[in-house]
Amino acid sequence: MKYFVMPFLSNTFDSIGIDIGDRSIKAAYIKKHGKDFELLSFGSIEINPGIFDKGNILKPDQASSAIRQLVSSMGPKKIKTKYAHVCLPETQTFIKLLNIEAENEEEAKAKAREELPNHVPIDIQKSYVDSRIVEKIEASEEKMLCKVLSGACPQKISNDYADLISISGLIPVSLQIEAEAIVNALMPKELQQNSVPTAIIDIGAGRSSFILFDNNAIQFSVSMPLSSNEITVDIARTMQFTYEQAEKSKRICGFDPSRCEKQIIDILFKSVATLAENIIKNNNFYLEHFSGAKPIAAIILCGGGAYLPGLPRELGARLKNMSVKLGNPLINIAKKRKKIIKKLKTEPNSFDSNNENLDSYNIPKEFSQKHEMSYATAIGLALSNVL
Ligand SMILES: Nc1ncnc2c1ncn2[C@@H]1O[C@H](COP(=O)(O)OP(=O)(O)OP(=O)(O)O)[C@@H](O)[C@H]1O
Ligand SMILES: [Mg+2]
């Protein structure tokens, strides 16, 4: 779903993807390469505190000079296009699949708009709402039952982001909800239909989010009370480390008592416990509030915080009947993409991103696999140029 800005033009232009976060902005540029897709350019820039706050743009001039700097420093291929797919701040947007009975698609979308405020905390009069029919079933001679994926964003936020892109010398082709960009990055479209009930968890620097994907659609997404930077701050405070020392300890500890002090492991365990509790709570919410819902069977982690060594194992140990693994944001830019995806349909473990090397992907040699998790959203947005 492309939000709020000329959606019908979205695939017409050569465009980049830009993931704007409170503390960093990341961008990617993907083009067709024969039958495959290729990551031609990427880049990221850190953002000082006080420029954004929970998705609100406090200092547009500084934000726009960061975007200009980022785009001009992207490489290895220089960016010539001015068009960009941009994501809206996750904390300010809402997405939900609604079951609507209607006579036709137009009516279903209109009813979804009326229904949405009952499900998400928004002022509908001051929000942009967009929706897409994911599935329709004949319910009777006149009526059909539609599954309508509906998203909403406060008008002010959407307008501010469009303005920010414009004053940065770019043209916003679409403003997207982050959950959709992440799903597009991690789950090739061809595999979405066969997927088991899956939770995608994006563990970011300042916040985390939970996306429930099932029956070929996002069912809902919510924020999670976990921030990877907070873990670092917690370690720094407890151990009286500098922030840099704490960050380093976090990255090497791996829940391993031979590698770090017990107090650090305790902090990591506390975070995993919070994560597991919230996953269970969201799973219960799904089972109770969505008709025909089945329990989550798979957890896919992404975002830089997913690199916490040992996290999939520790999380998996706390979640019965759920497999936990790292996502692969490069899956859509794998070499021989079609062939790999065809094989993945029957053998889901046939392409293990942890065992593949850089040569398996159409990526520049400068792109280290060590940070692809952080690029999941930017890659998902950049895929709008080719999917
Ligand atoms: N190897 C690693 N081990 C543990 N944590 C890591 C590792 N690499 C990065 N991180 C953590 O990942 C976080 C950054 O993740 P990411 O780039 O996804 O955040 P972001 O998108 O900038 O933030 P947000 O989504 O909150 O706006 C940082 O907190 C960092 O400490
Ligand atoms: Mg992020």
The string of pLDDT tens digits covering residues 294-336 is: 999 999 999 999 999 999 999 999 999 999 999 999 999 999 9
Task: Check the CA dihedral 194-294-186-162 and report its sign.
Answer: positive
> What percentage of the chain carries pLDDT values higher than 90?
87
Q: Is the pLDDT of residue 9 over 80?
A: no
pLDDT at 220 over 80: yes
Proportion of the chain in helix, strand, coil states, percent, rounded to 5:
40, 30, 30
The pLDDT of residue 12 is: 62
Pick the ligand that lies closest to the CA of residue 228: 1
Identity of residue 274: T
Span from the CA of 214 to the centroid of ligand 1 (angstroms): 26
Please report, for the domain that includes residue 176, its CATH number: 3.30.420.40
With tokens 């599935």, the residue in question is 135
Task: Give the mutation target among 57, 90, 374, 375 for probing the ligand 1 site: most ligand atoms within 8 A of CB.
Answer: 374
pLDDT value at residue 8? 43
Give the 3-state DSSP-derived string for 190-247, with helices as H, strands as E and coil as C. HHHCCCCCEEEEEECCCCEEEEEEECCEEEEEEEECCCHHHHHHHHHHHHCCCHHHHH
Q: Which residues pair with 85 in a beta bridge?
A: 17, 174
Task: Give 12 Cα–ligand 1 centroid separation in angstroms.
Answer: 33
Host domain of residue 321: 7-227+285-385
Model confidence at 105, in pLDDT bands (50, 70, 90)?
Answer: very high
Residue 354: inside a domain: yes
Helical segments of the chain, H only? 60-73, 105-115, 155-167, 178-186, 189-192, 228-239, 243-253, 262-289, 311-318, 337-346, 376-382
Per-residue pLDDT reduced to its tens digit, 265-292: 999 999 999 999 999 999 999 999 998 9
Q: Does residue 183 have a pLDDT over 60?
A: yes
Residue from 18, 19, 22, 24 to probe ligand 1 pocket by mutation (most atoms less than 8 Å from CB): 24
d(CA 149, CA 199): 17
Q: Find the range with the poorest average confidence among 122-131, 225-234, 377-386.
A: 122-131
Half-sphere exposure of 198 (CA within 13 A, CB side): 25
In a domain, 266, yes or no: no
- 53: CA distance to ligand 2 center in Å? 14
175 inside domain = yes
Average pLDDT over residues 50-76: 97
Banded pLDDT at 358 (limits 50, 70, 90): confident
User: How many angstroms separate the alpha carbon of residue 22 from the centre of ligand 2?
Assistant: 9
What gap in Å lies between CA 113 and CA 118, rounded to an integer?
10
Whether 96 is in a domain gets the answer yes
Kindly report the length of the chain: 387
User: Does the residue 160 lie in any domain?
Assistant: yes
Ligand 1: does its nearest atom lie under 6 Å from the Cβ of 24?
Answer: yes
Asked if residue 247 has its Cβ within 6 Å of ligand 1, the reply is: yes
92 found inside a domain: yes
Number of domains in the chain: 1
Would the CB of 307 count as within 6 Å of ligand 1? yes
Answer yes or no: is 271 within a domain: no
